[in-house]
Every structure is written in structure tokens, then in C-alpha cells.
Structure 1
Amino acid sequence: MLSELPSLFVAGLILLGIFYLGFVSIKINFPSVILYILFGVLLADFLSHNEVLHFLSEVGIVLLFFILGLEFSLSRLGNIAKKVWSSGLLDLGLSMGVAMLISLGFGMSFFEAFLVGGVAYATSSSITAKLLDDKSRMANTETEFMLAILIFEDLIAPIVIAVLIGLQAGGGEFAATDLLFVLLKVVGLVGLAILLGKTIFKKFETLLGKIDDEDFKYALLVGIAITFGGLALLLGLSEVLGAFLAGMMLAEIGKINRVEHAVMPIRNLLLPTFFLSFGTSIELGSGLPMPLLLLALLIWSIIAKVLVGVIGGRWYGLSKRVSLRAGLSLCARGEFSVVIANVATGMTQILAGIYIVAAAFLGMILFDYAPKITNKIYGKPQPKKKNLHVPVAPDEKQ
């Protein structure tokens, strides 16, 4: 049993397994994220309660969103917020609202339908961000829109979780004051990040320039990311939201690549452990409960995200081609769905677990094929022709 082995030995085996799976993914040209999740599912009985793995995975996902936050200064985030709110509400209505109606149509109670709607709502921020990086699509036209949708979902998902926990604790009742309290915490955390970014961290670049010892620099930057992520957890919010806001605070400084280069190696080492831990958290159970509902949810979850891309992307100012590619790339479900599924019990939990695994697989496959599908529908993009005008001498015109 792995649980009886020394933690250090288990950690070494995990890292060796991650290396091997990463190597295999390159050889067979298959997303490494899927292999890491499968690795976790296979080892769920041995590692589901491993505290070392859980801690490393938390640090990995925090650093991923810390680095993402570095790309968004306050001014850029404000411009995105103005453009994405309508697309975000469309996403909430299609992905969560319609999924709730489908579940109610299959005879689920309101609480169960609300829970299933929550599971079907949020795109996996970690899987999507990792695939954007792996497929070298971070600089694509649609990436800003996709990240804006993910940020919107990261703000809404903790509220959904709070409502679900309140409904469960209250036997189906939830006070409006509880929802207001959650919203106040989100606003407070964002406000704190803005305040720190405009004051203390305004001169952070000067401080970094004075640090010659790289070890101290790592401790400082990773410490900031983890502390703000932990503060979000302390407030009952998402550590992903806290980590993103920590990166946003530092986005105001110049030469941001110095911060990225310092944190990137640590993130690259620890991030695969998150996907492995994600796999261990999924209990598939036995049998396939409500297969028709599962199939309906999977089909609609893909249609909903494609519509968010096609319609919301156009609202955001993207072309039809780019909007479709964005929608096809937003279909994977992941970490928030797992958190929400943990509120469920019995057959609903098994249904949610199977849905998450299937949606993650389908979403990653669609992400991989999104450019090809887009080219199939709209044709390959034609390179812009340069209008070369050759001057003609006056005497040659006659």
C-alpha cells in the first residue's frame, strides 16, 4: 500500500510517473493533462487522502493563476470587464441555467438540479490555461476573450458553491443576506488587491532589482502568490481567484518578465500534481446512473460553450472564425466542477463524477481540434496580400 510508504518515497514515485507520462504524451502527441488525470484516477485508492500531493497541487494551481494574473494590469482588466459582462451572463444562463432545466425535466429536485447546473457551468480554468500554453495559443486573438470568460466564471463559481452549501445546510432554504455576504467578500478581496497594487507594489520593481540572491526572490514571489491565495480560502472564496489577484497586483510594475522567469520553473514542476490530484478526487462509483441525463448534459454543455463563443465572441469584437474557435476551446470542465460535486451525495455524486471526467476528455479533444474544425467550416485563412505600388515616372504614363 502506498499509504504505508514514506511520504518522501511516494513523492519521488509521483514525480517519476509525471515525467514518464509527459514523455509519453510528447511521443504519441496526446495531451499530457489527460494522462495526468488518468494517472490520478488509477491511483485514487492510494493517494486520495495524501496531504503532500494535495499541498503540492494547491501550490501548482496557485502559481499558474499567479502568472496569468501578471498579464492583466488594472487598466487592462477594466477594459476587459466592460467588454465581457454580457458574454459572461450569457454563459451563466446557457451553461448553468439550461442544465438546471434539463435536470428538472429528468425528475431531479431543485437542489439536485441546481447542483448539476453548477457542475456543468464553469470551464476548467487550469486545463484550458495549460492547453493554451502547451498548444502555443497564448498569443492568439481569442485568448483574451477566453481568459476573460474564465475570470468571470472564477468570480461566479465561488458564489454558486456558497449558495449550494447554504441550501444544503438550511434544508433547501438560503437567506439573501448570506449571498450578499459572499459578494461583499469578493468585492473586498478585489478592492484590497487594487489598493495594494496602487500603493505598496507600485515600487516593487525597485525592490526586485536590489535582490541579488535568487533564492530570496523565489521565496518572496511564491510567498506573495500563496499568501493571497490562502487569504481567499480564509474568506471562503477560491484560491484561484486570490492567486490571480496577486499576479494582477504585480502587473503594474515594469519588466514583468523578470517575475515570470523566477516563478515559471516552480510552476512547471508542481502543476502536473494538480491534475493528478484532480483525478484522485473523482469517485466514479459503480454503474452508470441516469445515462440519458448524462448524455443530454454532455451534449448541451458542448453546445452551450460553443454558443458562448459564437455569440459572446462577436459581442466581444471577435470575427466569426475566431469566435467559433474560442467556443470550441471552452468545453472542458474541471476543478470548480469537482468542488461543487463534493456537495452532492449518492447517485448524484456518481453522476457528477462521471460527467466531469467525460466533459474534461471531450473538452480537451475539442480544444485540440478547434483550429481544424474552424478551418473546415470557414476555410483556411488567407494571408493578407500587400498592395505593392510601383511608382511610374511621369514620362512613362504617356
Structure 2
Amino acid sequence: MHSAVFLIEFGAVVLALGLLGRFAARVRFSPIPLYLLAGLVFGHGGIVPLGGSEQFIEIGAEIGVVLLLLMLGLEYTAGDLVGHLRTHAPAGLVDFVLNALPGAAAALLLGWGPVAAVVLAGVTWVSSSGVIAKVLGDLGRIGNRETPAILSVLVLEDLAMAVYLPILTTLLAGAGWAAGGLTLAIALGAVGVVLVAAVRYGRHISRFISSDDPEKLLLVVLGLTLLVSGFAQELQVSAAVGAFLVGIALSGEVAENTHHLLMPLRDLFAAVFFVFFGLSTDPATIPPVLLPALVLALLTALTKIGTGYWAAKRAGIGERGRWRAGGALVARGEFSIVIAGLAVAAGVEPALGPLATAYVLLLVVFGPVAARFTEPAAMWLTGRRAQRRGAPSLPVAGAEPEPVPVPD
């Protein structure tokens, strides 16, 4: 009977996710807020609370985090990461100061303490690579001159997570200074070793794992990722970091084939992860934190726009491209939920989960809107100011006549 209940419940959840995903694709919108809302519906205090399948969904959510980070690592080579770090480090620093500090300050003002401040700093800091990539594609901006500046900020955020997550995991575990320092040293050492090994021996590693049989390649990569993630979790380094490092270590044809094979699995378990985060949030706890979430969302939307504008200006992009870059970076999503999920599991602050849910829902919805309308709105305001001063105004248009193709 229990297995029948499990199959019915889990089947209903997966079917609902599939229908929501199809609806989101039809309206050209990110499915993340719909998955979060589905979790609120199926969770405790929701309309149709689950019982028999919740434990399996929790395990699936952990696998979803691992696959999200593995696929993220597969997007980059170690050489790409090192090159971005050397070239675009100032943009990463500006991004951290403008977007992490408001989250930390908000947690302290709410009286949640330093650990919650570190958590909320991460939630407000990191943009959603998945949502932004989709928006850029939908708006036809993949080849725009400002797009490399946008991607450089996203890459630096992803690389920073390899350092941030071990720090966060150590703080959540409540380890002392000695144990925490040792854990952080292990994490940083692992990141350094993997980057060096991937730069020097990436071809040999990929050749060893490579297989012409998709089934064997999938089993080896997935098994290796789960194994490394498990050991990383045991060392309090974070399973997500372990998966990210495995992805970085793979390159070339192996990375491309693995990406193709794992994408459906990633999408399935990532959707389960978002649902589980919603399951762990009681809908009744969201209204009390809605106003702080709204204020924080508005503030960090502006700081992200400022980040993109500065990064694009530093790259020599024109005025319109700077505003487009800023608007594109507003969306938050998967990483913010991963960070908040770690804190919720550790029981840091009861209101942190609802606040993060409301915050991500607001910005994952507003992000595509900001990407589309930040530049026209900024040009309109510039034109109004110019008219008041009696100077000729710039024509307001939806796109800037800059060269579109970007050389590889």
C-alpha cells in the first residue's frame, strides 16, 4: 500500500512538473517560479500535502543539486576559469560588494545573526545563469557586444561558489575555528589541485573516462560525480563543490557528450529540487516576510543593473549595451535556492527559507522584464533629462546598432 501511495504521489508531482514546464516553454518564461509554487502547493500547509513520497523527493533534491553543479562545471574548462579570473577579477569584486553586502546587511538588520548574514549574502549575490542564458537567447542577444561582459560576471560568480560554499558549509556545521579552518583549507586545496590537474592533464583524464558507448559513459561520469560529492560532503566541503570540480576536470568531447546525456536527468532532478524547497516552506510563513523580500529584491535589482553597467563600460561597450548588460543580470534562481536550502536544512533561521522563496520568486519573474526594458527605460530617462537641459536627446530604440557578431 505504501509503495502504491508513493507511486501515485510521485507520479502526480512529476506529471504536474511536466505540464508546468510545457506551459512555461509556451509562454517563453522560466519554469523555476512555477516549480517553487508547486512545492508550496504540495508541502505542509499547502493545498495537497504529500506524505509517502516526501523522503524520496528529498533524496532527489540532493541529486538535483549535484547535477546542477556538475553541468555547470562542464560548461567551463580550467583554462577558461583561470583566464576569466585574471582578466575580469575587478568586475567580480564590484559584483560581490554591490550585491552580497545588501543581503548580509538585511539579515543583520532583521536580527538573524552572522551565519544567516553569510547565507543571505549568497542568496542576493549570485545571478541565475540558466534564466539569463534563456532570456538572452529569447531576445536574440547571444551575439551582442555586451554579452561577453555578462558572461564574465556569471563565470566569476560560479568560480566564487567553489570557495563560498565550503565556507558556508563550515559555518552551518557549527565547527570551531580550528576545524573550520581545516575544512576551508581542504576545500581550497581541492579546488587548486583540480584546476592545476585539469589544465595540465585534462586530456588524459577525459581520455580515461571517455567511452563510445553512451550507457557506459553515463554510468562512469554519474557514479564518479556522486562518489566525489559524497566524499566532499563527508569532509564538510559541500557535495555541490565536489560535483563542480568533477565537471571542470572533464573537457573536450567527453564534456560535450556528458552534457548531452545528463541534460534530461539534470532537468528532472533540478525540478524536483525546486519542488522540495517549496515543500519545506509553509505558505503561511511567506506573507510576514513579503515586504522585506520586496525591498531587498528592488534594491538588489538596482545593484545588479549597476554591476552590469560597470562591467560593460569597463569592456568598452556603448551606453545602450551597458544598460542591456545591467538588466540581463537581475534574475536570481537556482544558486540562490541551493544556498538557502543548505541553511534551511541546518535550521539556521526559520524565516530565511520563506524570505528566500519570496525573493527568488520576485526576481525570477522580474528578471526577464528587466532584461527587456532596462535599456529603453534608461534611454527614455536620458532623453527627458536632455530635453530639460535643452540638449539634443538620444533616440529611444529597442536595440543599439552595434556590431552583432562576437569573434571567438
Distance in 2 separating the partners of 1:266 and 1:5? 24
Between 87-96 and 242-251, the greater mean CA deviation after superposition: 87-96
Q: Structure 1 residues 327 and 184 mapped into 2: Cα distance closer, same or farther (>3 Å)?
A: farther
- Per-residue deviation, 1:314: 4.2
Q: Structure 1 residues 10 and 324 mapped into 2: Cα distance closer, same or farther (>3 Å)?
A: same
Conserved 8 A contact 1:99-1:300:
no
Correspondence list, 1:214-253, <5 A:
214-251=214-251, 253=252
1:151 aligns with 2:159: yes
Conserved 8 A contact 2:100-2:124:
no
Conserved 8 A contact 2:294-2:359:
no
Correspondence list, 1:354-365, <5 A:
354-365=354-365
1:89 aligns with 2:93: yes
1:79 aligns with 2:83: yes
Identity %: 21
Distance in 1 separating the partners of 2:247 and 2:153? 18
Report the AA paired with residue 8 of structure 1.
L
Conserved 8 A contact 2:308-2:325:
yes
Correspondence list, 1:223-372, <5 A:
223-251=223-251, 253-254=252-253, 256-286=255-285, 288-289=287-288, 293-315=292-314, 321-328=320-327, 329-332=329-332, 333-343=336-346, 348-350=349-351, 352-372=352-372
Q: Structure 1 residues 34 and 156 mapped into 2: Cα distance closer, same or farther (>3 Å)?
A: same
Conserved 8 A contact 2:320-2:400:
no
Q: Which residue of 1 aligns with 2:386?
A: none
Conserved 8 A contact 2:115-2:171:
no
Q: How many residues in Structure 1 have an aligned counterpart in Structure 2?
A: 369
- Per-residue deviation, 1:301: 2.9
Distance in 2 separating the partners of 1:59 and 1:6? 22
Q: Structure 1 residues 317 and 339 mapped into 2: Cα distance closer, same or farther (>3 Å)?
A: farther
Correspondence list, 1:117-156, <5 A:
118-123=119-124, 128-135=128-135, 137=137, 139=142, 140-141=147-148, 142-156=150-164
Q: Structure 1 residues 309 and 182 mapped into 2: Cα distance closer, same or farther (>3 Å)?
A: farther
Q: Structure 1 residues 269 and 87 mapped into 2: Cα distance closer, same or farther (>3 Å)?
A: same
C-alpha deviations, 1:305-338, integer Å up to 9, x for none? 3333333554566665455444442442322023
Conserved 8 A contact 1:158-1:238:
yes
- Per-residue deviation, 1:119: 1.6
1:59 aligns with 2:78: no
Q: Structure 1 residues 326 and 282 mapped into 2: Cα distance closer, same or farther (>3 Å)?
A: farther
Q: Structure 1 residues 6 and 215 mapped into 2: Cα distance closer, same or farther (>3 Å)?
A: farther
Q: Which residue of 1 aligns with 2:401?
A: 382
Q: Structure 1 residues 305 and 47 mapped into 2: Cα distance closer, same or farther (>3 Å)?
A: farther
Conserved 8 A contact 2:171-2:180:
yes
Q: Which residue of 1 aligns with 2:11?
A: 12
Distance in 1 separating the partners of 2:19 and 2:79? 42
Distance in 1 separating the partners of 2:300 and 2:97? 12
- Per-residue deviation, 1:360: 0.8
Conserved 8 A contact 1:95-1:120:
yes
Distance in 2 separating the partners of 1:236 and 1:79? 29
Distance in 1 separating the partners of 2:312 and 2:72? 20
Q: Which residue of 2 aligns with 1:394?
A: none
- Per-residue deviation, 1:42: 0.9
Between 3-12 and 333-342, the greater mean CA deviation after superposition: 3-12
Between 300-309 and 271-280, the greater mean CA deviation after superposition: 300-309
1:38 aligns with 2:57: no
Between 85-94 and 272-281, the greater mean CA deviation after superposition: 85-94
Q: Which residue of 2 aligns with 1:193?
A: 194
- Per-residue deviation, 1:87: 3.4
Where in structure 2 are there 5+ consecutive unaligned residues? 380-396
Conserved 8 A contact 1:87-1:313:
no
- Per-residue deviation, 1:47: 4.5
Distance in 1 separating the partners of 2:404 and 2:152? 26
Between 288-297 and 373-382, the greater mean CA deviation after superposition: 288-297
Report the AA paired with residue 338 of structure 2.
E
Q: Secondary structure at the match of 2:182?
A: helix
Conserved 8 A contact 2:233-2:239:
yes
Q: Secondary structure at the match of 2:76?
A: coil
Q: Structure 1 residues 293 and 255 mapped into 2: Cα distance closer, same or farther (>3 Å)?
A: closer
Q: Structure 1 residues 279 and 185 mapped into 2: Cα distance closer, same or farther (>3 Å)?
A: same
Distance in 1 separating the partners of 2:57 and 2:248? 27
Correspondence list, 1:201-212, <5 A:
202-207=203-208, 211-212=211-212
C-alpha deviations, 1:60-83, integer Å up to 9, x for none? 332232222123212111111123
Scaled by the length of structure 2, the TM-score of the pair is: 0.76
- Per-residue deviation, 1:248: 0.8
